Chain A
Amino acid sequence: DGGITQSPKYLFRKEGQNVTLSCEQNLNHDAMYWYRQDPGQGLRLIYYSQIVNDFQKGDIAEGYSVSREKKESFPLTVTSAQKNPTAFYLCASSTTGGYGYTFGSGTRLTVV
């Protein structure tokens, strides 16, 4: 079945470490997105990519980096520059026209 897979489901990071969250889709979607959700708040866009080897900053890109080397994959790195990384991270994908917008099941990142 086609879908979008995020891993790991739970991730713990020590202060000062970089961590990478995985997002893979087999929906043949061109566009992929990363969001952050904090308790009681809506989703905020971190980065998005409309095509391989190209991506754009969203509203809260500071402290994050991404790559899009393959159509299927859009990993997110949370760097040590992100001062408050504890959150629920959601990856999504869609067609170029924004149709079929689908979310992965998310990664809960906690700084310990």
Chain B
Amino acid sequence: RKEVEQDPGPFNVPEGATVAFNCTYSNSASQSFFWYRQDCRKEPKLLMSVYSSGNEDGRFTAQLNRASQYISLLIRDSKLSDSATYLCVVNMDNFNKFYFGSGTKLNVKP
């Protein structure tokens, strides 16, 4: 079983739609959780950290469910510029070892 699993998609949604991605992780002792965004042929960039209480940044909301070992990302009012691959990242063994999911591809259509 992979340490971090994501639905690869693609999720094809119209502009203005709300879309949600989930990511499951295998190690219940995981300490830190993040969502990264990766544009085609570019490096991943931090979108947001995921806190136990949930957190929101504009149109983006991240949630953590430790009991079920998953994190989620909700995007409201999708924009064309949101089209990218979204990577779930989990810190497993120690602070310096991060595991990346294979990513969920989002296509926002006009």
Give the B-binding residues of A (Cβ under 8 A): 31, 33, 35, 40-45, 48, 50, 58, 88, 90, 94, 96-98, 101, 103-106, 108
Interface residue B1 (Cβ < 8 Å from any Cβ of A): no
Give the A-binding residues of B (Cβ under 8 A): 4, 8, 32, 34, 41-46, 87, 91, 95-103
Question: Dominant SS at the A interface?
Answer: strand
A7 to chain B: closest CB distance in Å? 14
B33 to chain A: closest CB distance in Å? 12
A96 touches B4 (CB 8 A): no
A98 touches B100 (CB 8 A): no
Chain B residues near A105: list those with CB within 8 A: 42-43
- Rounded to whole angstroms, the CA-CA distance of A94 and B49 in the bound complex is 15
Q: A98 with B103: in contact, given A42-B87, A90-B43, A103-B45 (CB under 8 Å)? A: no
Chain A residues near B87: list those with CB within 8 A: 42-43
Chain A residues near B42: list those with CB within 8 A: 105-106
Across the interface, name the chain B residue whose C-beta is closest to A58: B97
- Rounded to whole angstroms, the CA-CA distance of A41 and B97 in the bound complex is 18
29 contacts between A and B (CB under 8 A): A33-B96, A35-B100, A42-B4, A42-B87, A42-B100, A42-B101, A43-B44, A43-B87, A44-B100, A45-B98, A45-B99, A48-B96, A48-B97, A50-B96, A88-B41, A90-B43, A94-B96, A96-B95, A96-B96, A98-B95, A98-B96, A101-B34, A103-B43, A103-B44, A103-B45, A104-B43, A106-B42, A106-B43, A108-B41
